[in-house]
Amino acid sequence: MFLNKFRQSLRVLLKEKRITLINITGLSISLGCALFMLLWVEHELSYDRFHDDFRQLFRVEEDQYYTGEEPYHVNVTPYVSGPVWKDEVPEIMAQCRLAYQGSMLFASGENRFYEGGIAAVDSTFFDMFSFPFKYGNAASSLRDPYTIVLTEELATKYFGSRDPVGETLLVNQEHTFTVSGVLESLPTNTILSFNVLIPWSFLQSNNLYNETWDTNSIRTYVKLHETAVDSVVNRKITEVTDKYKEGNTIDYMVAPLHGIHLHAYFGYGRSPGAVLYVYIFAAIAAFVLLIACINFMNLSTARASIRAKEIGLRKVNGASRGNLMRGHLFESLIQTAISVIIAMLLVMALLGKFNQVSGKEIQLSGLFSVQFISGILGILIITTLLAGSYPALVLSAMKPVKAIREQGEQQTGSGLLRKILVVFQFSLAVILITGALIASRQLNYMRGAELGYNKTNLLHIRLRGNLNQEYDRLRQEFAALPGVISSTASIQPPYDIGSNSSGIQWEGKDPELDILVSFTGVHYDFIKTMGITLQSGRDFSEEHPGDMYLDTTTNFIINQTLADIIGKEEVLGMDLRFVGARGQVVGIMEDYHFQPLGNEIEPMAVAPVSQELVSLPHMVIRLDDADPAGTIVQLEELWGELLPEYPFESNYVSEVIDNQYRSEERMSTLLKIFTVVAMVIAALGLFALASFTAQRRTHEIGIRKTLGATEHQITLMMIRDFSLYILLSLAIAIPATWFIARWWLNEFSYRISLSPNLFIISSVITVSVAILTVLYHAIRTSRTNPVTALRYE
C-alpha cells in the first residue's frame, strides 16, 4: 500500500519536473538555513548545561543605586563575601570565588610566552563545576598556594604530549608553580573561560587580597540546595551584607549560571542580552522557511487546474476528500523529505564555513545529537503541514463536474490566494533586505564614528608582570626615536575603562547627589598622546610635579559630562575629593568614548599616578604619520636590546576598536547571507509563477495580438500585474521594518538615524529583482505567434 502510494506520488511529481525541481531547490536551501540556525540556537541555549547539578549553580550580582538613575547592575562582588554568605545563608551549599589576574609571563625551559585567561579560584571550584581532567584529579589540585592547573592546549604548548603533573613553570620571573592537573579542552559553550587556574590561597599569601566590603572586583558563584528559592536567597544575602557593610545600599541577587550567556547585562538599563540575537535569527530562519513554503503553496495551487481532470475523475471513481488530502500531503512529505536530505548534505559540506562566519566551533557530531535530530523531525513535520496542507485542502475540495470542465481555479479562488501569498512573501524579503542594510550601516557607523580621540597610529603596548617597573626607562628610550611623538600609560586601556567609583565631593555639592564616576590612573602627556581635545586647562606634565598622586594629593582632568554635573561657572581650578585623594581640576577635556560606542559616555576623571605606586600595564604611544610600520620595527628592536627576556607585544588601538564589534560584524554577515538566500528563493518562486501565468494566458495574449496589441504593450501588461503585488508588499513591509529597526537600534546608545534612503534602496532592489525575474517570461510570451497561441490546447 505504502509503496504503491509512493510510486503514484513520484509519477505526479516527475510529470511536472520544473515545478518539483523549484519546490525542492527552494525547500532545500531554506531548510539548510533553518538547520544552520537550529545548530546555532542549540549551541547558544546549551551554555553551562553540561555541569552536574547545573540548575543549582548561580552567580551573585548587584544592583547599585545613584541619584536620579535606574539601578547600575554589576556582575562582581567583594573578595570577602562568598565564604560569609556560605556560612550564614543556609540555602547555599557551596561557594567559589573567581578572580581574573590578567596576563603573566610563563617560562619552561626555552619556552617563554605571555599567557592570558589566568583565574584564581577557591579549592571548591571542581566540586561545583564539571570540567574533566586529562591528568591529575580534582582532589589533589589547587590545595597548595603554588600549584597550578592548565588546560590541555596550554600543557601541550609547554610540555608536549607527556604528562606534565609534577613539572614546574616560572611565572613572571619570580613565582615557581607546580603543575597539579591538566584539564581536557574546555567546551566552547561556557562563560567560565580560562587557560590557567591558580589557588585562591596564592592571592592571600602575596597580599593580592582585599579584606573590605567596599571593593567589587571578583565573581562569586554559589550552589544552592534543590529546594532553595532564589528570591529568598536574594533577600538573605543582602541582609547578611547589611550586617558587615555599614550603610549598605546595594541589593544582591543570584542569576542562574546556565542563563548568564543569553541574559547577562551590565550598567544602567536592563538590556535583553545575547538572547536578542537568538530571537532575531530564529525569526529570520522562520522567514526564509516560510518564503519557501509559500513558493510550494503557490505552485501547488497554481497547477490545480492542470490536475483538475485528475481530481474530478478520482472523485467520480469514489475517492473521498480524505483520501485526496492524504495523497497531496504525502506528495508534500516526499518533497520535504528529499529537501531535508539535501539540506543535511549542504550543512555537512558548509559547516566549516558557517563556523568561520558565526564564530562558533560546532562539530559534525552535533548533527546527530538527540536534540538536533528531534529538531529536524519537527521541521520536517511542520514544513510538510505548512507547505502541503492548504494545497491539499484546495485540490481535494474541487467539485467533480467543474473540475472535469477545467474550472478548478475559478471554483477554488486560488488565484486570489496566490496574489496574497506573493505579497506576503516579498514583504518578508523586503524586511530582511532593509534589516541587513540597517545592521550593516549601524556597524559601519560604530567602526567609523568620531570617538573624541585620534585612534590613527596610536600604538598599545602591554607591560605585563614586572615590566611595569620598566616603564620610565622604556618611555625615555622610545622618545629618542624620530617616529615617536609622545607616550603615556594607564591602569586600564584608555579606550576601554571599566572602573568607576562613587563618593566624589566638591565644595557646594548637594549632599543628596550621589553619582558614579569612571576613573583610571594615567601618566604624563595623557591628553597629548591620546589626541583628546582640551576645552580648557592643561595636560598633566612633568613641569608640574604637584600633578602626580602623592600620599593623598593629586590633580584631576575631568570630562565635560562631569563638569556639566558639577554645574559651576568656574570648574577649572576648583578642588575635588575623589578616590581617596584631594586636588585641583587642572583640565576639562571634551567627552570621548572610553568604552564601546554602544555605551553612553559617563562622567569621568583621570589623575596621574606613578608606576612605583600602582601598576601601569598599558603603555600608549603616538606614532608619526610618515612611517608608522617602520617605527614599530625600531621599537621592537630597541625592546629586544633593553628587555631580551620579554616578548614584545603591540597592536594598533584602531584594530582593537574594530575587534570590539566582531560579534556585531558576524551577526551582520549572517543577516546578509540569509537575506540573499531569501531573495533567491522568492525570485525562484516568482519565476515559476510567472511561467505558469504566461502559460495560462496564452489564449488571451493570442487574442490581444490579433486585435493589434504590440509586444511592448503585452510585456508591460505582464510586468505591471506582478509589479502591483510587489508595490503592495513594499507598502506593508516598510512600516513593519521601521518599527522593528527602531526597537533594535534602541539597544545602542549611539546609533544611525532611519533615513528614507535605506528604504528606497531596499525597494529598488526588490522591484528590480521582481521585474528581472518576470521579464524573461513576459518577453517570451509577447513574441508568441498569435496563430500558435490561438491553437494552444
Asked if 696 and 391 touch (Cβ cutoff 8 Å), the reply is no
Q: What is the pLDDT of residue 256?
A: 95
Q: Which residues contact 191 (CB under 8 A, 6 or more apart)?
A: 47, 48, 257, 260, 261, 264
Angle between helices 275-302 and 17-45 (to 10 degrees): 170
pLDDT 10s digits, 767-791: 888 788 777 666 766 666 665 555 5
Q: What is the pLDDT of residue 413?
A: 46
d(Cα 554, Cα 576) in Å, to the nearest integer? 9
What's the 3-state SS for 471-515?
HHHHHHHHHCCCCEEEEEEECCCCCCCCCEECCCEECCCCCCCCC
Residue whose C-alpha cell reads 502541503 in the numeric block: 388
- Predicted confidence (pLDDT) at residue 273 exceeds the cutoff of 60: yes
Residue 285 burial (10 A CB sphere; 0-12, 13-18, 19+): buried
d(Cα 158, Cα 113) in Å, to the nearest integer? 9
Hey, which residues does 133 pair with through a beta bridge? 183
Coil, strand or helix at 176: strand
Residue type, position 89, single letter: V
Coil, strand or helix at 651: strand
Average pLDDT, the chain: 83
Q: Where are the domains of the chain?
A: 2-43+275-446+662-791, 88-202, 465-648
* Mean predicted confidence (pLDDT) in 320-341: 75
Residue type, position 66, single letter: Y
Q: What is the pLDDT of residue 152?
A: 94
Residue scoring higher pLDDT (706 or 74)? 74
Q: What is the pLDDT of residue 334?
A: 81
Q: What is the pLDDT of residue 409?
A: 46
Coil, strand or helix at 166: coil
Angle at 514 (CA atoms; ends 510, 517), nearest 5 degrees: 120
Q: What is the pLDDT of residue 408?
A: 45
d(Cα 314, Cα 317) in Å, to the nearest integer? 5
The rounded percent of the chain whose pLDDT value lies above 70 is: 85
Coil, strand or helix at 597: coil
Strands 168-171 and 175-183: antiparallel
User: What number of CA atoms fall less than 13 Å from residue 711's CA on the CB side?
Assistant: 11
What's the 3-state SS for 81-123?
HHHHHHHHCCCEEEEEEEEECCCEEEEECCEEEEECCEEEECC
Strands 517-522 and 604-608: parallel
Asked if 684 and 20 touch (Cβ cutoff 8 Å), the reply is no
pLDDT 10s digits, 623-646: 999 899 999 999 999 999 998 888
The rounded percent of the chain whose pLDDT value lies above 90 is: 34
Q: Which residues contact 562 (CB under 8 A, 6 or more apart)?
A: 517, 603, 604, 605
pTM over 0.85: no
- Nearest in space to 265 (alpha carbons), one of 279, 280, 255, 250: 255
Residue 447: Cβ within 10 Å count: 15
Lowest mean pLDDT among 178-182, 298-302, 650-654: 298-302
Extract the C-alpha cell encoding 433. Answer: 533586505
Coil, strand or helix at 458: strand
Tell me the backbone φ, ψ of residue 502, rounded to 5 degrees.
-105, -175
Asked if 492 and 462 touch (Cβ cutoff 8 Å), the reply is no
Residue type, position 424, single letter: F
Residue type, position 254, single letter: V
d(Cα 243, Cα 245) in Å, to the nearest integer? 6
User: What number of CA atoms fall less than 13 Å from residue 112's CA on the CB side?
Assistant: 11
Lowest mean pLDDT among 185-199, 396-410, 427-441, 676-690: 396-410
pLDDT 10s digits, 19-41: 778 778 878 888 888 888 888 88
Residue 354 DSSP one-character state: H
pLDDT 10s digits, 191-226: 998 999 999 988 888 777 888 888 888 999 999 999
Res. 411 pLDDT band, cuts 50 70 90: very low
- Nearest in space to 604 (alpha carbons), one of 458, 489, 525, 504: 504
Residue 120 CA to its chain's centroid (Å): 28
- Nearest in space to 305 (alpha carbons), one of 387, 389, 391, 383: 391
Asked if 478 and 639 touch (Cβ cutoff 8 Å), the reply is no
**Residues in the chain, overall count:** 793
d(Cα 152, Cα 182) in Å, to the nearest integer? 6
- Predicted confidence (pLDDT) at residue 233 exceeds the cutoff of 90: yes
d(Cα 638, Cα 482) in Å, to the nearest integer? 13
pLDDT 10s digits, 454-504: 999 999 998 876 777 888 999 999 999 999 999 999 999 999 998 888 889
Asked if 494 and 468 touch (Cβ cutoff 8 Å), the reply is no
Q: What is the pLDDT of residue 670?
A: 82
Tell me the backbone φ, ψ of residue 172, rounded to 5 degrees.
55, 30
